[in-house]
Amino acid sequence: MSSRGTFDGLVAVVTGGASGIGKAVTETLGSGGARVAVLDLEPADASDLAVRCDVADDESVRRAVARVAESLGGIDILVNNAGIGAQGTVADNTDDEWRRVFEINVLGTVRVSRAALPHLRKSPAAAIVNICSIAATTGLPNRAAYSASKGAILSLTRAMAADHLGEGIRVNCVNPGTVDTPWVQRLLASSGDPAAELAALRARQPHGRLVTAEEVAGAVAYLAGPASASITATMLQVDGGMHSLRLRTGAAR
């Protein structure tokens, strides 16, 4: 939940807003007064405007962003959330699998940002929030392509923050740990032992549980809103301490 009225009069675009983190972001910004457009492969109707869009296709992105600006009267906030996962070491994935991950996770963010910039430049409260990942800053096993794509998002966030600060556009990212979304549920379902896999994912996070999509949405709303008007080029970790803590187990601490 964000405070009622925080986003009154503002228009937000959320890519991948039909599911998981994007859906929670859509609801949070909406409850704060924003009019929210969801751009997704299968957009849900729970937003002010649902636009079918494939972030891997530049024409589709340009059409979708133009439709939002025309229908809702501009764009103030962009949340680049649409993304896909990939499992494997650097030896495992084919070139096509690497290209697909970068096509959606990295170039998808580039395309939507590029199309939205002319509208963001006109906003008095412009903000971009990229959904990055703990994988950008911490080595996770079996996630080479995915981690590389999120590392690119972290660097891109900082580069964009530098390029667009003078235009009044803040650019930040949120780095979640493992979040309980349909994505992670699919991952669990495809594992040989879902209960053991869930226990391992929980144990990996110092606070002993999965992050909720609403907790990530709260961080996104903070970085998108007026309370963070002096914050740009930063990453906000929502990971139960996974990025920074080294706890000891057992009695001696």
DSSP 30-65: HHTT-EEEEEESS--SSSSEEEE--TT-HHHHHHHH
Give CA 93 to chain center in angstroms: 23
- Residue 235 C-beta: closest distance to ligand NAP, Å: 12
Regarding 182 and contact with ligand NAP (CB under 6 A), the answer is yes
d(CA 166, CA 99): 33
Regarding 136 and contact with ligand NAP (CB under 6 A), the answer is no
**Distances, alpha carbon 71 to alpha carbons 19, 23, 64, in Å:** 23, 20, 10
Looking at residues 50 to 79 of the shown chain, list those that interact with ligand NAP (rule: CB under 6 A): 53-56
**Any idea what DSSP says for residue 209?**
S
Binding residue for ligand NAP, selected from 176, 218, 225, 240, defined by CB under 6 A: 176
Total residues at interface with ligand NAP (CB under 6 A): 28
Regarding 131 and contact with ligand NAP (CB under 6 A), the answer is yes
Measured from the CB atom, is 32 or 176 closer to ligand NAP?
A: 176
**What is the maximal distance between C-alpha atoms in the chain?**
61
d(CA 71, CA 33): 17
Task: Say which of 146, 147, 170, 171 is annotated catalytic.
Answer: 146
Catalogue the E-assigned strands of the chain.
11-15, 35-40, 49-52, 77-80, 126-131, 169-176, 235-238
Regarding 183 and contact with ligand NAP (CB under 6 A), the answer is yes
- CB 84 within 8 Å of CB 105: yes
d(CA 46, CA 14): 12
Regarding 102 and contact with ligand NAP (CB under 6 A), the answer is no
Positive or negative: CA dihedral 73, 77, 146, 183: negative
Regarding 26 and contact with ligand NAP (CB under 6 A), the answer is no
- Residue 60 C-beta: closest distance to ligand NAP, Å: 8
Regarding 37 and contact with ligand NAP (CB under 6 A), the answer is no
Regarding 145 and contact with ligand NAP (CB under 6 A), the answer is no
| 146 part of the active site | yes
- CB 127 within 8 Å of CB 172: yes
- Residue 157 C-beta: closest distance to ligand NAP, Å: 13
Binding residue for ligand NAP, selected from 40, 107, 111, 228, defined by CB under 6 A: 40
Measured from the CB atom, is 81 or 172 closer to ligand NAP?
A: 81
Regarding 133 and contact with ligand NAP (CB under 6 A), the answer is yes
Measured from the CB atom, is 229 or 245 closer to ligand NAP?
A: 245
Q: Catalytic positions, please?
A: 146
Q: Which residues bind ligand NAP (CB under 6 A)?
A: 15-16, 18-22, 40-42, 53-56, 81-84, 104, 131, 133, 176, 178-179, 181-184
